Amino acid sequence: MKSGQRLLAGFFSLALLVAGGAAQAATASHAEEDAHGAAKLQLNKGKKWETDAPLRQGMAAMRASMDEKLGAIHKGKLTAEEYRALGGKIDTEVGTIVAQCKLAPEADAMLHLVVADLLGAAEIMQGKHKGSPAAAARTAVGALNKYGRYFDDPQWKALK
């Protein structure tokens, strides 16, 4: 395994460990809670964190995928296969972001909190972990909206 692949595999392992709590709870507010002294999603001295093109592109792709199915998610009409496909899309886009994104360490640490929620939700939607795919999809929507609240992406529009 090449060093870049080891780094990516290590990041995913860490993100999945962090995401475990998010996946089990499947709540949209996990990263903002600080009950046990865990890292807390926050602004950069009152300003949104900088982004780069790979991050913006990957987040936009995830947002578009979720937005396309949002009505069906809210109505409880998505099939198990559609949830698996959404979870797979999240996995793919997060992998691309991790491989290409070059953020400052502090911004990267904040992004990891969003990514943890996204990966935890994706695991449930794909049936890799127990949980409600619908609740996991709502967690993914919440994580994407957190990205928009905490990261400077001029094209971003919140999901509803």
Cβ atoms of 143 and 30 within 8 Å: the answer is no
Contact between residue 119 and residue 90 where contact means Cβ atoms under 8 Å apart: yes
Q: Kindly indicate the confidence band of residue 38, based on its pLDDT and cuts at 50, 70 and 90.
A: low
Average pLDDT over residues 95-119: 94
Per-residue pLDDT tens digits for 110-160: 999 999 999 999 999 999 999 999 999 999 999 999 999 999 999 999 998
